[in-house]
Amino acid sequence: MTKSKAEDVASAYAVAEEPSDPVRDAEVDQSDIVLTAATVAVVGVGVALFEAALLPGVVLGVAAALVPKALPDIGAALNPLFKSTVRGAYKFGKKTREFVAETQEHVHDIVAEANASEEAKLAGGRGAASASAN
């Protein structure tokens, strides 16, 4: 049962030409989502008919029910944002430490110059006072 090369090529083209259907190829079972949406809609309509003040509680309940399903997806989506934020904060902290160190060095230099000029004035004044006293 060996195939000829022509049959192999023909079968390869037949497979390659067949377009794939993304909806059919998806292995996600969406029946739970549809069932949940239908239940929420029925409860929402019932609450709105009987007591509109209960709507915020229903919304919070639905949100609380959906959070565990959506939380892993949210975490995966926020991971790159979190990493870039931490990197940016680290770089900002490093630049801030460098700036503070340079500023501190400049202030110490200015203070040292001021002390040296003050000592020179005092030494010059003492030398003039001792010279006039002699």
Task: Encode pLDDT of 5-64 as tens digits.
Answer: 666 655 555 544 555 665 565 555 567 777 877 877 887 777 777 777 777 777 788 777
Strand ranges (E), the chain: none
Stated pTM of the model: 0.38
Mean pLDDT of all residues in the chain?
76
Q: Tokens 């500023």 sit at which residue?
A: 103
Give residue 1's pLDDT. Answer: 47
What's the token pair of residue 65?
């029910």
Who contacts 47 (Cβ-Cβ below 8 Å, separation ≥6)? 54, 55, 58
From 3-7, 15-19, 76-80, 128-132, the region with the lowest mean pLDDT: 15-19
